[in-house]
Structure 1
Amino acid sequence: MAQNAPRNNSQPLSQPQQQERPQTKPLLNKPLFKPRESRVQDRRPPSEVMLEKKGWNFKRKFFQNMATRFNYYFHARVKLEKVLRTANRDGQDNYNVLLPFYPTTLQSQGYSKSELDSVIEKTNMAIQLHDPRGKWIDDCFLLMGRAYFYEGDLENANKTFQYINLKFAPKKKSEYKTVVGATENDQISIASREKRKGFFGRFKHTYARNDAFLWRAKTLLEQKEYDEVQALLNILNTDPNFPRRLNGGLAEVLAYSNYIQGRYPETVQPLKVAIDKSRDRVSKTRMSFILGQLYLQLNHPDSAMEQFREVISFKPDPMMDFQSRIQIAKINAKQDGGLAKSMESLKHMLRKERFSHFRDAIFYTMGTLEYPKDPEAALGYMQKSLKQPSANTVQRMLTYKGIADIYYDQRQYLEAKKYYDSTAGVMTPDFVDAKIVTIRKEVLAEVAAKVAIMHREDSLQRLALMPESDRNVLLSKMAAGIRNAAAEKKKNDAMQAANPYDNPAFGNNNNGYTPKEEKGDWYFYNASSKASGFSEFKRRWGNRQVADNWRRSQNGVIVNNNNNNAPADVAGGPAETATEALSPDSITAEKLSQGLPLTPEKLAASRTLEQDAWFDLGKLYHDKLESFKLAIETYDSLLLKYPDHPRKPEILYSLYVWHGKLNNNAEAARYKALVLNQYGNTNFADIIRAGGLRDIDAGKKKAIGAAYDSAYTAFRNGDNNAALAMKHLADSTFGVNYLQPKFDLLEAMIAIKNDTLFATDTLQLSRKAVTAVMQKYPADEGVQAQAQALLDALNRRGELTDYLAKLEVRKSNGDGPLVDENISMNYPWQNPQPVFTDKLNVAKAPKDSVQVAANIAGSLPNKQIATIAPIKPMTPYALKADNPYFVVLCFQRVSKELMDEGINQFTRYNATKHAADKIEVGSFVLTPSETMLIFRIFANEDKALTYFDEIREEAALSIIPRIRPADYSLFVISRDNFILLNSTKDLTGYRKFFTDNYVTQ
């Protein structure tokens, strides 16, 4: 019993019993806090930690992809699409010119930066928090790049798209292709293959990498890297792995590339493909409208009409639908009997309620159709357009500009300036005529002042030359008319004072300045401000008649249409001063006659003032408004009225130059003969005969020559800014001098020298500078020859763009060129030629460069230069270390089949041996008997010479073994030297230059 009794727990256990009982774990088997020295924090983002975990199984893939897609990617995409929808310009485009390809541009965007930053943040969080092996990570990167693109951060956008292309390239051995240089069936492939065959293949996830190629192309287009974009699009167009789903996007990018470069004929075909394959109705409608505009630009009205009707059939937004109908009406108006039909169609649209928001544009279109046939009707329609309530500021800008242009053509310059001011106040920075509006706004006030002086002085002279009795009668009638007008105004003032809004100065006046009634801070939108302004005006100026030139009409204006001897609008200069302090009631004929030029001295002063105004007006038309027609008309009228003008030689010379610019050769020859025959001893005759002015002072002549030598030396040394500064200093110091043609040609050469980007707008400025020199000095044979050579080189640059584009410059990794047993390459900076004597240095200088320098820098002799035939343009080849370089293989005698084979063989060779260098090869026809293969583009001369040595050895052995080495030659050439070679066709001269400077036998 004792053995079976329960044990007392309070008794101590024996030693064996203590060993049999299991040990109990403590509640805390480790310290609550680690010692500070052992605490290590993992600062890596979760994505890197997840990447180290094994077991990328179905369950993990499913949850990671779902979380990435619906927690982050979906919301970021919805936010980005919302930003793009709200950033649309909502019809604020100028439909009278070619539309921007996309609704917004980076220069005039309305994107919300905070919203785009939110898109970038969401996509970044998705990338950092989720497993990078997920299939939605590349889509998040693509959204991030697009957000950078719309923000205008093109550098980060380009880097993001490049990262996608490299990071997400295929990794499997069966799919792997190198990004550059891989070939499949002799076709370069850079895209990722998408397996989307069959019904279920349509629902498979697509690679964002393929979309990133197109977005990178758009980014490069905004950065104006046109040649790099063209190379990328050429590869994608023939890439066998590029997915069919992106063919429409590829065509759209190609059309956009041609469109922004102004290559409209090449835009049509890819744009049609993009429209056909587009699934975005808004984008498809816009591209269709642009295609219609391009057809009009290319003079295909029937195709444009059909395209605009197709736009209407798409059921677009009201603005696009309305503008398509407007374009159809404009096309019909240009056909026989179509104007009346178009006007009736527009009036019908005015009665339609759905076009009520576009009535301002309808009236404007009716005005443009009526002008120039009926200017008054056109102005009436445009004034009605301004009275329509509308929030379309672009249309208001166009209407202001249309009215201003009509007044400008009618030479009502004060009225034109008012409307140009209004246009400038509402026009956008990207307005196509912004430059014209700004210039005319600034110049027309000065033009109007000159015209007012001419009219005023002419009228005063005519009054002064009238018989005294007739003049007194006319002045008496004028004084009585002014007093009666003042009395009538005083009578009406009592009725108008009670209600200032009945005053015609604040109503529908003749000038059309009646803005819509609306609330705002602007003076004319505030009724109380207008009322107080009217009271202040009446207090200061009294009652004024609503008429043009009202300030003069109350102070000396003589208006009498019944008297043929009196002018219709005469403003008194001195008379105005004499009567401006008098009230209208006290004006008499004697007071009006005080400002007339009745003495010989005053009459001569008045004529001098009028002559100067005529002369200055002609200069304004030519120099600032660039209107040769108005300038010629002004000077012709000046010579008719003042045939003995004191500056007649300059006037005749100006007419000779202006007629020459308009290709009026007969008139130009007539004025040239007048200058040479009547004013042969003047400097203007010297300009015509020899392109230089006479300078009797030998010291001054020597100083001018030294100034030119200094400027030209700076230009030869490459310091273009210093050369241009010296030229401008010479202009301000010496004025027009005997070396002026050389100075002007030097300035044109500096403009061309500074043009290294081959941009279209810059080339236009360069051509304009050279053409201006040729037109200014038509008789200078030497200047004409040099300018023509420069112009030929500029004109051929368009053909060389594909071969001479500036590509990406990379650092050199080579160890130097290979040296052949028989031919060694001499680098000027490594193996300089020994200098023996100064005479030898002159002999070693390139012959062409010496002749060009002597031809330009040489001063003209004092005697008249004999007329000689233009010399053949020289080719001053030069070594330029800062230029990109090309390797050229020139064929002497080879068939087209062998030449095509050579292109294919070299393309394969470069894809295999130089995949990372992006060496491109293409054919170029220099002359009908000289065809070349151009290998481009090498960052510097060293890389070009290395490649030259390499293919010189491999060409005959393995690349083109079927072509005999005797039938081709190889050389290296810089980009600038290639331009000169293409201009002069002097291949023999360049081979000699290449041999003298690079090759030692």
Structure 2
Amino acid sequence: MVCSNRQRNYVLFSILLFLLSACVTQKRRGDIGGMAKLYQNTTAKYNGYFNANELVYLTTLKLEEQHQDNYNQLLPVYDYVEVENPAAIAPDMDQAIEKLSVVINLHRVSKWTDDSYLLLGEAQFLKHQYQDARETFEYLVDEFDPDNLNSRNRHLSQADAKERAAKIKERKKKTSSRSSSSSSKAKKKAREKAIKDNNSKKSTRAAEKARQDEIKARKKAIADRKKNPPSKETETPTEQVVTNPTPTSAPVAKATEPTTQKTSKPKEDKKQEEETDNDNLFSHTPAYYEGMVWLARSQTVQGNYFGSQSVLNDLKFRPKTPTGVQQMAAVAEGDNAIHQENYPLAILSLQKGYDLSEDKKERARLAFILGQLHEMTGNAPQALEHYEQVLSNRPGYDMEFNAKLKQVVLKNKSGGLADRKALNEIDDMIKEAKNAEYRDQLYYALAEIDLAKGDRMGAIEHLKQSVRQPSQKKLQKAESYYLLAQLHYETDDFAPAFHYYDSTQQFMLKTDERLPNVEKLATGLRPIATQIDIITLTDSLIMVSQWPDEKKRELAAKIKKQREAELAARENTGQSTVRPDPLAARATPGNIVRPGQTDIGGSANSTFFAYDDKELKRGLKEFTEQWGNRANEDNWRRSLRPDANTAEQTVVQQEANSDKLEDEELYQILKDVPRNAQDLGRAKSRIEEARFRLGVLLRDNIDRYQLAADQHELLLQDYPETGHKEETYYYLYLDYKDLNDLAKANQYSEAILGEFPQGKFAVALRDPDFYSRQESAEDKLMAYYQQVFNVYTEGDYAQATQLLEGVETQFGKNNALKAKFALLGVFCIGGTQGKEAYTEALKQFIANYPNTTEQTHARELLRLLYGGDPNASRVNNTSSIVTYEDEGEDVLHYFLIILYNSKEASLNDAKSSVYNFNSKYFANRKFQYSSIGLDVQKDIPVIIVRDFKTKKEAMAYYETVEKNKKDFLPDRFRYDAFPISLHNWRQLQQTKRVEDYRGFLDQHYPLRK
């Protein structure tokens, strides 16, 4: 009993000494004890890093779900990066960043510091804050380089290791005189303790590995590749940190590291075991290597391709780079090469990444991209081989289906599969029930086969079938509409091309690099299509006007029947207000799932005839053919009805009324057909005007000079005395000059000089610089006015007045902006001499400048002054002279929320909602808020969110608001929300006309659609 008490006291005393040894006054990294070190490492990992790691992992999965692969385009290497709304994950990433910041600040001495920097950079990267992420990774690489003696990590780890090694060596010298038996016992105890601790560590690591495998299966392969990290001669495991771009595999990598060190550096391991066993529990490779990969990726997305390749080359030639990181670097190098369209290098790099990867999902994706790259470079056999590799990695059905489809189309294009056989294979795929939701892609593939053999009409028909499929896949609709638009545009069929481009931009992703060109073409073709439609319709009406009456009646009857069919179709489509069931898109021709109906798998169809729509319709048709349309009543047979004798008379009368009504309807249908010479003249005038405008638009909007010339020559041929004759000559001169047809250009130049010698175009032909000089003078005048106006808005009325005195000297008394300059002078008087002088100046201005918009505005200001409006003394209310400016990128911006129904919806509620939105999506930003009245009389308040240092910051906030409106303000609010520079905000306060600013906003602050 006494012995046991002594032992217990001895243990307690030893623990106390151990704890006291850990409690050092100065917490220098090399001085903290084993218990303190264990506490710092454990707390850093499980209190902060672990939770942040889980957030980053789950966020990556969310982004993968948000991304949609477009298999008709080259797949992105990293699917979780190419998303439309990265702001949706901002709250989670802000939370992860906060947790990691705590780890870095409170547990900096732990070995999870470099891991935390790596994960923090990943969180910023996922938020698309690429510059911030790049700076984080640069700091990680600079401060935690294990091979750099001057870096922080090298100083902390290797200096401590050397110091501990020296202490161990000194202790060995002091104990060398001890007996061999005592030494043997000590060694035996040390070995037993090492074996025991090793078993404990193995079980701990096994549990950790099981947890990671279960939660983070997506990146499990990275951990497996880290089973042989490079040996470290002087570093202690305490200072080694590892983490991956996705939070998965650090524990697996740690589990095998001590074994490698024991085989290569037995003495080093022995010293580590003698120093501390706690370090071994948390040993792992540095985060530095993966940090270099992420640094390269950050540079790639920012367009610094050379810098990215330089970082990857440095990593590639480092002998200690782990195999798993080599795989990551190869994939990153392939991505960098794709961004530069260097496809041969991309193929080499991605092939290496594929070979080193053990994750089937990643291998399948890389194989598909390799197949696409080989297809793009004309290597069909290699492409087919890689598509087969996709299938061997057993991907999801979506990728499997597209790989098979790619094989069929590619074999046909390369001659390995006959047209008929390829078409039969795709037709078989169309008939399969499991491919119901992929029929739009299958018809698109048929169109590709048609184009390969030169059948454009067949391709167009298959593409029309593709867009008609009830699929919810926006990406495929975008591809089908885009190809339809291109096919029509290439053949100068501009009216349908416009409609297809317009549909394309409705479905195309905002991140698609083709979208700006699609939007440009849709905008440019819109007025062209309008003029073409006017010409086509009016020409048809003129032709119909020359038909005999019987033929007109037949046409009108066809139009009426067509309209009724369209109306019936719309009614049938809209008869159910229930949202279509998602399974409806998957229904096969023999198993239709109707809107609002749930298809329960395994249930048998009813055989009762009344539940079969086909049987009901067939019976109704047979009844109508035999008995006609009858009311739902008793004694419906004519022989049994009491009014049978008068029935025939009633029917005859109704038929007569029906014929009369039909005549009126036919008249309405043909009301636009010219009926006399006056109508015919108006119709021809419409064609004349539309043809002139069409020629101008073909030149200005899409640079089709020959087509423009053709339209204008046709105009002169059909309407030789057109009112646009002089302008038409000049446009023809410009068109043929651009076409380098100097003979034709001179022909129309001489026509202008001969027929219109005093016209403005003749002046331009004699003196080409005449109008450029005129424009230069106007530009100078406008620039001077803007200078004076800017000085005035800054409140320097004396300087503005001095500038106004020089207007007549520089630009003359009757310059184009004379009234505007004079009104500015009135405002300067109001700003310096008070209300009475301002009132008299307004009266004098009204008398001197009659019938001008400035006079109207001055009258309104004078009325407000006499009416006693509290805001009337604000002389800067100058709506008639306000101009908005694009001041560049590096200008302070505000974000305005203008509420139009603040009486029904509380301003405080709006403020609260905006604050909550910013707390969710911009948790790391500290905004300032204020509210003022834009229009006091109309009770229109404005909430101001500030400050945004640049236009880019304001646009990022604007796009986040537009993409997440449901979280910004509730539906009960009617509001406008937009960014505005400080100067333009002052302008808007003067005019109070948001609609005037809206046009400037759309032009200079365009949202990505």
Q: Under TM normalisation by the shorter chain, which class is it?
A: 0.3 to 0.5
TM-score normalised by L of structure 1: 0.48
Q: 1 or 2, which has the higher helix percentage? A: 2
